[in-house]
Amino acid sequence: MTKTSAPYEQYSQENASEKSKHLLGYGAKFAPMVITRAEGSYVYAGDKKILDFTSGQMSTLLGHGHPEICETISEHAYHLDHLFSGMLSPPVLELAEKLTGLLPNGLDRAMFLSTGSEANEAAIKLAKVYTGKFEVVGLSLSWHGMTGVSGGTTYQDGRKNHGPSMPGNLVLPTPNAYRSIFRKQDGSYDWETEMDYGFGLIDAASVGSLAAVIVEPVMSSGGMIVLPEGYLKRLHMHCKKRGMLLIVDEAQTAIGRCGAMFGFEAYDIVPDILTLSKTLGNGLPLSAVVTSDEIAQKAAEEHFLFYTTHVNDPLPCAVGAKVLNIVIRDNLIENSANMGDLFRSELKKLQAKYNQIGNIRGRGLMTGVEIIKPETREADGELAGKLADRMMELGLSANLISVPAFGGVFRIAPPITISKEEIMQGVEIFNKSFAEFLG
């Protein structure tokens, strides 16, 4: 495939805000520039080069414009792009075989959709059809999507000013070790009691129709909160006790991003339903729902229906299969683990200098940096915003959670192809920004 020149290299950066006046707002704060090119670990606004520490929307796992991904897209755009939803194609069959081959027994069958919202919508509907029940439990800082059912299980933001969500949504407290009030006598975090207490409240609120719990192994939009060791196993126990299914949403954690192929692997459980998105398509709209033969069979008997325009489309599935090949071939899971450890170790040196860094947490190339007011440990969204703006000026895009209820957390997830030099470049910009504001 011949690489073409970037089509917007001469695009004017003047009056970027004026140019956006015809756009309907959707909750994002637009950056004060227009991105005209993206390549590898960087995006460009004209001549300005910006290190992309969020992989686009946490999705370009292999970086922007990966040549093998571009070649796969081009080839399938010419020869096998989109089909009638009842037709099969080689990329779909290949991806299903590769993906289930990487997963343990009990995750045996896959379907492929477009977005994470859509995959979680399908997974929750599958759980409802299988169990014959309708109540769904999510964690209090969760983000599972913006559609009806997935949005109903999203508690981090977006619940206000539009009337009631889907019926049957219940909530567990997020296991935030840095902020939870649940403590043992020695002061250590008591997430077991917190979970048991939460389920006591769920049992009290339930009408007796508990269908599923949905959870992320690392709660990215919640502030890169890593579930405690043993958490998913105990959660699965609570589910089994109540006849519920456990849905694990790995939109961001899977395919090596968290330093393992799948985030749930660290917890010694196999979820009843697994959803994937973002990382699987390297920025293309591709998601997956994977479940057991048993659940698939029962769902078929109960006439489970999730028939969409782009279900099992060949072009994105070909990209998904290529992503899996590259991650395994190039040992990128190991790179993710090593570069994530390096990044957090360097940030902890910065934390030793500035007590405004309240907490650093993460797994693999998923890192949260929480900015606080040291005297009260209150989240300092104002300082964090100034730091984020300065980092962007210096050439680093580091996503800041700006939700008022939980602001002040940098949410960082660079491509897992990132080099040591690029990690250290990002660290240097962090250092410089903190030094300018805090001395």
Mapping DSSP onto H, E and C, the string for 131-142 reads HCCCEEEEECCC
Residues 6+ apart with CB under 8 A from 367: 224, 340, 343, 344, 347, 360, 361, 410, 412, 413
**Catalytic member of 118, 249, 250, 380:** 249
The tokens for 306 are: 């999730």
State phi, psi for 235 to the nearest 5 degrees: -60, -45
Q: Which amino acid is residue 220, in one-letter code?
A: S
**Catalytic member of 133, 242, 363, 411:** 411
CA–CA separation, 320 and 332 (whole Å): 15
Residue 191 bears catalytic tag: no
423 vs 61, 123, 336, 365, 388, CA distance in Å?
15, 36, 11, 10, 17
Q: What is the dihedral of CA 347, 182, 205, 404, to 10 degrees?
A: -40
**E strand or H helix at 45:** strand 42-45
**Catalytic member of 278, 322, 344, 361:** 278
Q: In terms of Cα–Cα distance, which of 253, 423, 246 is closest to 343? A: 423
**Beta strand segments in 46-133, E:** 48-52, 109-113
Residue 135 bears catalytic tag: no
**Catalytic member of 252, 257, 322, 344:** 252
Residue 157 bears catalytic tag: no
Coil vs helix vs strand at 24: coil
Residue 216 bears catalytic tag: yes
- Neighbour count for residue 163 (Cβ, 10 Å): 4
**Catalytic member of 94, 121, 133, 143:** 143
Residue 278 bears catalytic tag: yes
Q: Which amino acid is residue 359, in one-letter code?
A: N
Termini Cα distance of the chain: 50
Q: Do 231 and 267 contact (CB within 8 A), yes or no?
A: yes
The tokens for 394 are: 């210096």
Residue 249 bears catalytic tag: yes
State phi, psi for 406 to the nearest 5 degrees: -155, 55
**Catalytic member of 121, 190, 216, 272:** 216
Q: Which residues are catalytic?
A: 143, 216, 249, 252, 278, 411
